[in-house]
Amino acid sequence: MTAGQRERLESLRRAYTRDLPARVRAIGEAAASLEPGDREKLQSLHHLVHRLTGSAAIYGFTGLSRAASALEALVYSALAGTAGFEPERGPSLADLVVALKSELAAATASSKQEKGDP
């Protein structure tokens, strides 16, 4: 990889990192707005989480990708009709959104350390 390619990749990673809070916020808002039987909102949430799962992995945010993947699995199961959001069946939707936000904080803190920001 050339120096120019590395710089371009780092530029893309910085832009992605700047956008992460908005992505996670949108997921939190979509999760909070879910209503029983609203398949359209559930599909929208799945789309947001699915995109974050893959893109976070591509940019090296493995913890964030794992947290998004756990949330994606729950949402997918709800879409498939094989699971709901009952707390007794495992982590709740709210718990997984909190975990996602926690991983976001870790990812952005790590990114700042790499750049030498306080």
Q: Which residue's entry shows tokens 């949402």? A: 75
Q: How far is Cα 102 from Cα 26, in angstroms, rounded to an integer?
A: 15
Average model confidence (pLDDT) across the chain? 88
Q: How far is CA 11 from CA 15, 48, 54, 61, 117, in A?
A: 6, 23, 19, 15, 16
The half-sphere exposure of 34 on its side-chain side, counting CA atoms within 13 A, is 21
**What stretches of the chain show up as alpha helix (H) in DSSP?**
3-32, 39-58, 62-80, 93-115
pLDDT in tens, 60-101: 999 999 999 999 999 999 888 866 665 445 578 889 999 999
Domain ranges for the chain, please list them. Answer: 3-115
The pTM (predicted TM-score) of the whole model is: 0.84
Q: Which CATH topology does 3-115 take? A: Four Helix Bundle (Hemerythrin (Met), subunit A) (1.20.120)
Q: Please give the Cα distance from 93 to 73 (Å, whole number).
A: 11
* pLDDT for 25 beyond 60: yes
Among 69, 61, 50, CA closest to 20? 61
What number of CA atoms fall less than 13 Å from residue 19's CA on the CB side? 12
* pLDDT tens per residue, range 44-54: 999 999 999 99
